[in-house]
A = this chain, B = another copy of it.
Amino acid sequence: MEQIKKFELSKDYLERLELEIVQENAAFILASLEGVNVADIAAILDELEISDALYVLRLVDKQLAADILIELYESTLVKLLQEVETTEIANWIVLMDSDDGADIISFFSEKEREEVIAEIDDRVKLEQILELLRYEEDTAGGIMAKEFIRANKNWNVVQTINEIRRQAENVDKFYSIYVVNNKFQLLGRVSLKKIILASSDTLIADILEEDIFSVPVHMEQGEVATLMRKYDLESVPVVNAKNKLVGRITVDDILDVVQEEAEEDIQAMAGVSADIEESDSVFTISKARLPWLLIGVIGGLMGAKLIGFFEGGLSKYLALASFIPLVAATGGNVGIQASSLIVQSLASKSAFDDTLWQRFFKGFLVALLNGFVLGIFVFLVVAYVYGFEPVFGITVGVALFCVVLLSSFMGTVTPLVLHHYGINPAIASGPFITTTNDLLGLAVYFGVAMLLLNL
């Protein structure tokens, strides 16, 4: 019994390992990896040179190698697959669950795929993989596994247990047995608990639980995640258009989906496109970041033009320049706050479209209150701490108040509009909206100044 046995991945061990790999000391390497968890071995190989990682992979048991492969960082995996003959890859794939095998194959180009597929000599596995490859990566079909236990409704408990025995080797984890008719259409499920507690001659049809959820193959993975989370499902069967049972999704697959989608949202908010990991190259990271920075820079250049229009006023009242960052930053902050709250509520439980106006109204009230507090605060500081004339304090305060209202409106509307058009609303908290809010804020600020200061 091991309690959260964290493998001690020290720099010393890694250096030693690299040395032993050079000296091809297989005995040391195998001994040091003995009993270490697959995910931990993968983490070690992620740190090695590709050729070294490959050496270790070829040294260990084939099944272990296949298990390690699917736990590697994507960047390591892709590089590694380029170094290996298609036969070797095919031999590994045969030892994987079909969904993992399909994932590996999907890293190859069309042409290479054909070559790898041609080398897979397990017919059942091959058919399963080919079927999985037909589905979009981020749909139920793309994340489901073909390994599940299926029982006919006319079987009794003994027949079902025999089927479990037959499949036990292929199917690692299962919580329930899916029940189908003679056309393999899904009828319901029987839990393992019921199988254990039922007498041997009990008919499956009699302990069948019909009132269960299933999802269609084409359902978007985020939707599957929401469904499983909302209804606390540990696994969900996947059916095709004819209600034929074609796969199942377990909650641990969904855990990865939830994590991925959260990371996507954070990346969208931070303005980083694509799926960037810290281990990617300098150019890849730079390329993922530049476009978003450019949006900000172009916005800034437009802002410069805008301020240029007010140069006359600015020259008469130079202090106006000092409060530009205040106005711009507050606009950005308010916009992000408003949009993140909307994004969050879009992602959670059923939101009524009917309450849209209610939401706008509430957002408006919050903005009114915050704008008022901040406006007064800034007026007091500008007029009585910084010692500008009161009318200038009023100008900055009023401008800030207007900017809070406007940014809050933009921050509320933008994610709703994006969501309506099927675009990830988290983008609304990113550089694009911040830039837009900056520009609007500047226009409002100088507009108010022109009016109140008679410039």
**A372-414 interface code vs B (CB 8 A; 1 in, 0 out):** 0110011001100010000000000000100010000000000
- Given A262-B258, A271-B337, A315-B318, A165 and B231 contact (CB-CB distance below 8 Å): no
| Chain B residues whose CB sits within 8 angstroms of the CB of A197 once the complex forms | 161, 164-165, 168
B259 A229 Cβ-Cβ under 8 A: yes
Across-interface contacts of A111 in B (CB, < 8 A): none
Residues in chain B near residue A382, CB distance under 8 A: 301, 304
Point out the residues of chain B lying under 8 angstroms from A325, CB to CB.
299-300, 303-304, 307, 324-325, 328, 438, 442
Residues on B with C-beta less than 8 A from A308 are 319, 322
Please name all residues of chain B whose beta carbon is closer than 8 Å to the beta carbon of A37 when the two chains form the complex: 231
At the interface, yes or no: A133 with Cβ under 8 Å from chain B? Answer: no
A323's contact among B214, B262, B304, by CB below 8 Å, is which? B304
Q: Which residues of chain B are within 8 angstroms of A386 by Cβ–Cβ distance?
A: 301, 304-305
* A196 B193 Cβ-Cβ under 8 A: no
Contact size class for A? 35 or more
Are A252 and B234 within 8 A (Cβ)?
yes
User: Are A277 and B345 interface neighbours, CB within 8 A?
Assistant: yes
Contact: A336 with B252, CB < 8 Å? no
**Does chain B have a CB within 8 A of A342?**
yes
**CB of A293 within 8 Å of the partner chain:** yes
Docked-complex contact A293 and B330, CB < 8 angstroms: yes
Q: How many angstroms between the C-alpha atoms of A283 and B272 in the bound complex?
A: 34
Q: What is the minimal beta-carbon distance from A303 to any residue of chain B, in angstroms?
A: 4
Per-position binary interface string of chain A over residues 204-226, scored 1 when its CB falls under 8 Å from any chain B CB and 0 otherwise: 00000011111110010000000
Interface contact B270-A429, CB-CB below 8 Å: yes
Counting CB contacts under 8 A, is A123 at the interface?
Answer: no
Contacts A262-B262, A305-B386, A369-B286 given; does A329 touch B435 at CB 8 Å: yes
List residues of A (86-116) whose CB comes within 8 Å of B's CBs: none
Contacts of A303 in B (CB 8 A): 322, 325-326, 329
Report if A232 contacts B (CB, 8 A): yes
One digit per residue, 1 when the CB lies within 8 angstroms of any chain B CB and 0 when it does not, for chain A 225-263 equals: 001111111100001000100000011101110110011
Complex Cα distance, B9 from A259, in Å, reads: 29
In the complex, whether A85 has a CB less than 8 A from a CB of chain B is no
Tell me which of A192, A210, A277, A278 has the highest count of chain B C-beta atoms within 10 A of its own C-beta: A278
A199 to chain B, nearest CB (A): 12
Do the beta carbons of B263 and A266 come within 8 Å of each other? no
B300 touches A326 (CB 8 A): yes
CB distance from A35 to the nearest CB of B (A): 8
Bound-state Cα–Cα, A254 to B337, Å: 27
Q: Please name all residues of chain B whose beta carbon is closer than 8 Å to the beta carbon of A228 when the two chains form the complex.
A: 252, 255
A211–B2 Cα gap in the complex (Å)? 6
Sample (26) of A-B pairs whose CB atoms are under 8 Å apart: A1-B187, A1-B214, A2-B212, A164-B197, A168-B193, A251-B251, A255-B255, A255-B258, A262-B266, A266-B340, A269-B336, A269-B340, A271-B336, A272-B341, A293-B333, A293-B334, A293-B374, A297-B330, A297-B400, A300-B323, A300-B325, A304-B325, A311-B322, A328-B328, A329-B435, A332-B434
A-B contact sample (17 more), CB < 8 A, given A270-B339, A290-B370, A293-B334: A39-B231, A46-B349, A278-B359, A290-B373, A290-B374, A293-B337, A297-B330, A300-B323, A301-B326, A301-B386, A303-B326, A304-B325, A304-B386, A307-B325, A311-B319, A328-B329, A329-B438
**List of 7 A-B pairs having minimum Cβ-Cβ separation, nearest first:** A300-B326, A262-B262, A270-B340, A321-B321, A304-B322, A278-B345, A303-B325
